[in-house]
Amino acid sequence: MPGAALESEGGRIHIIRALRKVVNDAPKRTRGASRAPKMKSNLTIDARWLEGGIGTYTRHLLEGLWKHGNGFEVHAITRERHREEVKQWCSRATVVEIPIYTAREQWAVPRAAKGCDLLHVPHYNAPLLHRGPMLVSILDLIHIMDPAYRRSLKSWVYARPMLNLVARKADHIVTISEYSKTQIVERLGVPSSKVTVIYCGINEEFRPMGREEAFGAVSAGLGIQEPYVLYVGSLKPYKNVSSLLKAFAMLRRRCDIPHRLLILGDDVKWKGSLVEECARLKIEERTTFVSHVGRGLLPKVYAAADLLMMPSRIEGFGLPVVEAMACGTPVICSQVTSLPEVGGDAVVYFDPGDPEELARAMERVLGSRELQQDLATKGLERAKRFSWEESTRKHVELYQYVLGTSCKVAERIL
């Protein structure tokens, strides 16, 4: 995900060239350990980036492994600001005060992970200098697929070469949707057998609850007095929030609705332009931006909403869709990329390039109690398919598979 500091462009080009040579010159069949897995295998997870979707994925993985990861002793590499939080989920936490997307992490992470049986990196900034078995999570290919990123210099000099190098270096890749797997196989040229899909999940706090109770908590916490429709996610261009603003303005012009638009998410770079768009559309007095809410309030924000909208042009999964469905909230989302795979027949779809179609979908759902109830019922059933406990179980199985495969390779070499 974007946002971390990067090295200078010229320096990064030289670093990528050097790392490409390391991968090309490495022995092709010596990635496995030279010993069989111990009774308690040492699993190291790079947990330096705990923001956004990657952060949600990493946090739940660490928590799940602490509860259900039998057979693994978990060691986390993290930043100082996350150390106390991460320590509760692992036997040992090592601070590596180096941002992601930097050259220094290519040396620092292998040094911190030295001696582990398996290194799991939850993003494509994986260390190409690591010499043991390595599992890499590539949650999406937004950095090389979305127009806002793929034409940028950072995409050409870092994202593209790193994704290709890491896909070759990793012993196995995990992703979070069949859509993302297809893109990884086609665009990075790896065999399908090297990529495993493990869906994201939801926790038990995301559940149906009394609307009055939920709305009371939201009103007290956020100061919202009107019924509202909801967006949850970042404000980056691929999230397509500008189309949502246009659709909301269209809906208000032709319908006398009492609803406020609540946008839960923040991004320093892009928020200003969206606030200006609200003013231009004359909906600034009916739109509320909230950067963050606590873990306890978030399920209530979903449960009290009359509708969740997910207008993204591209997603690797679409976690807010599942979280809203689990709370019994009707969902409208884009009919592209991973979202139909996640939403199934439990949501109303629209073309993300057509704000008018989104406005019509909002009007249709808000105007029909019967449709709202139908979507809520189907959504609750659909959400049962996704759990972090199941995600953890499948990760443990994959860790065991990667360790077993690496050891067999080593035995053949020896």
pLDDT digits 0-9 by tens, 220-268: 999 999 999 999 999 999 999 999 999 999 999 999 899 999 999 988 8
The residue whose two tokens read 């404000």 is 235
Query: Residue type for 291, please?
Result: S
Task: Give all strands of the β-sheet with 331-334 in edge-to-edge order.
Answer: 287-290, 260-264, 228-232, 307-310, 331-334, 348-350
pLDDT at 406 over 80: no
- Distance (Å, rounded) from C-alpha 339 to C-alpha 246? 21
pLDDT-derived band at 18, boundaries 50, 70, 90: low
User: DSSP assignment, residue 236?
Assistant: S
- Distance (Å, rounded) from C-alpha 81 to C-alpha 409? 39
Using a 10 angstrom Cβ sphere, with 0-12 exposed, 13-18 middle and 19 or more buried, the burial of residue 331 is buried
Give tens-digit pLDDT for 161-191: 999 999 999 999 999 999 999 999 999 999 9
Query: Residue type for 18, please?
Result: A
Find, among 342, 271, 319, the residue nearest to 55 by Cα: 319
Q: What is the pLDDT of residue 24?
A: 58
The residue whose two tokens read 């005060």 is 97
Element holding 10 (H helix, E strand): helix 9-25
pLDDT at 412 over 90: no
Lowest-confidence segment of 3-12, 131-140, 248-257, 319-328 by average pLDDT:
3-12
Output helix, strand, coil percentages for the chain, rounded to the nearest 5: 50, 15, 35
Q: What is the pLDDT of residue 71?
A: 85
| Secondary structure (3-state) at 160 | helix
Q: Which residue has the higher pLDDT, 27 or 193?
A: 193
Q: How many CB atoms lie within 10 A of CB 150?
A: 15
The residue whose two tokens read 């809203």 is 324
Q: What is the pLDDT of residue 314?
A: 97
- Are 248 and 263 a contacting pair, CB within 8 Å? no
Give tens-digit pLDDT for 256-315: 899 999 999 988 899 999 999 999 999 999 999 999 999 999 999 999 999 999 999 999
Q: What is the pLDDT of residue 11?
A: 53
pLDDT at 65 over 60: yes
pLDDT at 352 over 80: yes
Q: What is the pLDDT of residue 33?
A: 40
- Are 114 and 33 a contacting pair, CB within 8 Å? no
Find, among 37, 127, 47, the residue nearest to 95 by Cα: 47
Distance of CA 3 to the CA centre of its chain: 14
Q: What is the pLDDT of residue 254?
A: 92
- DSSP for 14-77 reads HHHHHHHHHHHHS-TT--S-SSPPPSSEEEEEE----SHHHHHHHHHHHHHHHHH-TTEEEEEE
- Region 211-383: CATH code: 3.40.50.2000
User: In Å, what is the CA distance from 384 to each residue of 123, 274, 300, 381?
Assistant: 27, 34, 19, 6
Give tens-digit pLDDT for 374-401: 999 999 999 999 999 999 999 999 999 9
Counting residues of the chain whose pLDDT is more than 90, the rounded percentage is 83
Both tokens of 147, joined, read: 């127009």
pLDDT at 37 over 90: no
Q: How many CB atoms lie within 10 A of CB 48?
A: 28
Q: Where in the chain is the domain with CATH 3.40.50.2000?
A: 9-201+388-413, 211-383
- Into which CATH architecture does domain 9-201+388-413 fall? 3-Layer(aba) Sandwich (3.40)
In the predicted model, what is the mean pLDDT of residues 20-37?
48
pLDDT at 30 over 50: no
pLDDT-derived band at 1, boundaries 50, 70, 90: very low
Find, among 243, 365, 235, 230, the residue nearest to 302 by Cα: 230
In the predicted model, what is the mean pLDDT of residues 359-371?
98
Lowest-confidence segment of 12-21, 83-92, 209-218, 228-237 by average pLDDT:
12-21
User: In Å, what is the CA distance from 322 to each residue of 203, 244, 299, 330, 358?
Assistant: 11, 19, 12, 11, 19
DSSP bridge partners of 348: 332
- DSSP for 293-346 reads --TTTHHHHHHH-SEEEE--S--SS-HHHHHHHHTT--EEEESSTTHHHHHTTS
pLDDT-derived band at 19, boundaries 50, 70, 90: low
pLDDT at 152 over 80: yes
